Structure 1
């Protein structure tokens, strides 16, 4: 009798890819995801309990607030409409800056990555610009673009654009040269190589940059609202801070954290849908 270890490779592969094995793996993945979610909920509940105890029973309560007070403040903002208006202003600035930075940074990364000589020529200048503290440019943006939403959008776009550019630009350097050569031997031109090989390959690098850039888009919007604004979540946090209102400060921070988390989850879902061909990794 032939032992399992002596089975041909084809038979072993078929056994591993059988419907029963697929269902077993799916069930294991589902149980693992449920266990992970429960652990995360337990950690969150523990943090909230500790925060509430510290706020109620220690002298730090004045400075760190507590979850119940923060939830009450968020509820007050929701009933008065401040929460929805502030969220609308900040979210629109974030998404517009994120979109602008993605388009400009992505196109620049592809252009300079494909045209190697131009990329090598301009890379030192781009690195020099990248080394400038971006937040220090916020007052200049106010002078250039006036007081309104535009300087906040431009600040968010700049923060995102550099991250997207460097990810895409670095990705162009790691494209398989043999694959490009094979496609060219099949008669593909430069545009076809970019469209059929470079862009699909760079999509993974692009999503990595998007994940890093998304929080920076929100940071740029909030910093702009700190500098000069009469609306938005950043303005609400700044206003609460000026009045030593810790409940309002933490309420604004929690709302910003929630927005960032939701946007990140949506981006992760989009990445899984677009990069379904990339496999499940190691």
Structure 2
């Protein structure tokens, strides 16, 4: 009943916001040049969805996002676990890591374009830089948070380094790593979209940039909504994966077993 009430309140709130927006545009209280009506945005989305070429743009952005996400998370987890297990190396590299992390990622986009051109890999490289540090810091912290008592007991029982990684470190850091994976999805999409803004002939970012160049606010809002749905779908997939991998975590409304 509580979940149903929450859904009903959310639906009512959405209807009020969209209805008020549509009414404001219809009465002239809202300038449709800057804020087009929701119905016009929906019509634009339907028009794009009905066009087979639209799925080519989705495929391009999805490919850039997935590659940047997988490479960034893979490198981030590997580096985080390595430095989490090597405190001396972590102290040596600490100022360099902080210096690189302090660089705004957006300013790297033109450099990647110069190095890698306007093709796929410049967008992937930018997405990697956005995703890497999120997973890196979470993986390193997750390894550091391992219970020393559990670690000592495993060593007493004869666990080797590979056994410790498999049965102690990775399970202990799994919550940290998976939470960073959920957060970094949006950043992977941002990296791909920014790269497409700088120069591309296909992709959702290209559609939004083209609409912006034509002062088409309807196309810009339609692209933003499609991107939001795009990220939500990926987040839903990760949520399902997280439930499969972390079976001991209670779901919403459930209690931990005594």
In the alignment, is the contact (CA less than 8 A) between 2:77 and 2:135 conserved in 1? Answer: yes
1:55 has 2:32 as partner:
no
The residue matched to 1:279 in structure 2 has which SS? coil
In the alignment, is the contact (CA less than 8 A) between 2:145 and 2:172 conserved in 1? Answer: no
Aligned to 1:39: 9
Q: How many residues align?
A: 252
Change (3 A) 1:273 1:37: farther
- Return 5+ residue gaps in structure 1 as ranges: 1-30
Write the distance in 1 (CA, Å) between the matches of 2:208 and 2:145.
43
Aligned to 1:167: 138
- Return 5+ residue gaps in structure 2 as ranges: none
Write the distance in 1 (CA, Å) between the matches of 2:99 and 2:186.
23
The residue matched to 1:221 in structure 2 has which SS? helix
Q: Which has the larger radius of gyration?
A: 1
**Cα displacement (A) at 1:59:** 4.2
In the alignment, is the contact (CA less than 8 A) between 1:172 and 1:202 conserved in 2? Answer: yes
Aligned to 1:238: 209
Could you tell me which of 215, 218, 223 is aligned with 2:189?
218
Aligned to 1:21: none
Write the distance in 1 (CA, Å) between the matches of 2:24 and 2:130.
36
**Cα displacement (A) at 1:83:** 2.4
1:260 has 2:234 as partner:
no
Change (3 A) 1:39 1:82: farther
Aligned to 1:27: none
**Cα displacement (A) at 1:43:** 2.1
Superimposed CA distance per residue, residues 110-164 of structure 1 (whole angstroms, 9 cap, x where no aligned partner):
0110111111211221111000000100000001111101110111011001100
Aligned to 2:128: 157
**Cα displacement (A) at 1:35:** 2.6
Write the distance in 1 (CA, Å) between the matches of 2:30 and 2:14.
23
TM-score w.r.t. the length of structure 2 is 0.93
**Two-structure CA RMSD over aligned residues (Å):** 1.4
In the alignment, is the contact (CA less than 8 A) between 1:74 and 1:83 conserved in 2? Answer: no
